Amino acid sequence: MKILITGSNGLLGQAVTSIFTRESDYELIQTSFEDNSYLSFGHIYETLDITSKEDVKRLTDFYAPDVIINCAAFTDVDKCETERELSWKINVDGVKNLIIASRRNNSRLIHFSTDYVFDGKNGPYTEESVPNPISFYGREKLASENACITSDINYAIIRTLVLYGIGNKVKPNFALWLIEKLRNNEPVTIVTDQISNVTMIDDLAYGTLKITEKNLKGIYNIAGSDILSRYDFAMKVCEVFGYSKELVRPAITASLNQSAPRPLKSGLTTYKMESELGFKPMDALEGLRLLKIQLGY
């Protein structure tokens, strides 16, 4: 089976490429924005901007993949508020280009979404909960979900949240940023009122492999197994990595003056993934212990 991965140089793109390389015999075609792949597993690599309808068509017609896994996205939620045109082009129009390509070649599309499609008033949310985004990023991701759902292609939408893990040249995620600060003995201000799962990237990539293998359709939540505040997560980082908890100062989200509103009481339930994909994701302590080993600390 041939699988084309978009955004393969991003955090998730690298994790998906790595786990599919290790645990499957699928033929992988890696594609991303940059001239070169950040991973060297020997797969074909092509530069691809998913906003270019022509390039998406040319490449997908050429490779005729059985599955397209879309890991490309504009993921800075605050910048989505200020760079609306560009972020919509990537997060919505880019996905529509992949839907058109999937229809032409009869490919399956696996696409990623977020808990930001919800308002964060009464999480955790199931796959059936009714979305009500409060940020522009959330609206974009919901529009991309709806484009998949209303198309006639074979799709799976994987909703996830607060990803952490390692990758080559990846943007610092919450856990890596926190570890770097605490390691340098710098104080950090962490919110107590944003509650959600945190998700080890290895679990998300593994769940994506299971959804691919089982040819599952529809919406799936894939997230870490416990729901906690960002502050409590920071406490667990201190425990696992041996940093001083006194460096972590509690705050509330409103005091940070971020451009995009955050869903506060959020979280995604994991019952469906556990029963249908057959694995239990790591909780925060397990994920952080693995991260510590991966970082070589």
Ligand X SMILES: NC(=O)c1ccc[n+]([C@@H]2O[C@H](COP(=O)([O-])OP(=O)(O)OC[C@H]3O[C@@H](n4cnc5c(N)ncnc54)[C@H](OP(=O)(O)O)[C@@H]3O)[C@@H](O)[C@H]2O)c1
Q: Using CB under 6 A, pick the residue from 3, 5, 9, 148 that binds ligand X.
A: 9
Rounded distance, CA 11 to CA 18, Å? 11
- Using the 8-state DSSP alphabet, how is residue 3 labeled? E
Q: Using CB under 6 A, pick the residue from 71, 182, 190, 211 that binds ligand X.
A: 71
Q: Which stretch binds ligand X (CB under 6 A): 43-51, 80-88, 127-135, 287-295?
A: 43-51
Q: Which stretch binds ligand X (CB under 6 A): 42-50, 57-65, 124-132, 278-286?
A: 42-50
Residues in contact with 72: Cβ distance below 8 Å, sequence separation at least 6, in sequence order: 6, 7, 10, 13, 32, 33, 50, 90, 94
Rounded distance, CA 164 to CA 200, Å? 5
> Per rule CB under 6 A, is residue 117 in the interface with ligand X?
no
> Per rule CB under 6 A, is residue 94 in the interface with ligand X?
yes
Binding mask 165-204 for ligand X (x = CB under 6 A): -----xx---------------------------------
Rounded distance, CA 175 to CA 187, Å? 15
Q: How far is the CB of 247 from ligand X (least distance, A)?
A: 23
Cα–Cα–Cα angle for 210, 200, 226, rounded to 5 degrees: 100
Q: Using CB under 6 A, pick the residue from 90, 101, 178, 227 that binds ligand X.
A: 90
Rounded distance, CA 295 to CA 190, Å? 22
Can you give the binding site for ligand X, defined by CB under 6 A? 6-7, 9-13, 32-33, 48-51, 71-75, 90, 94, 112, 114, 160-163, 170-171
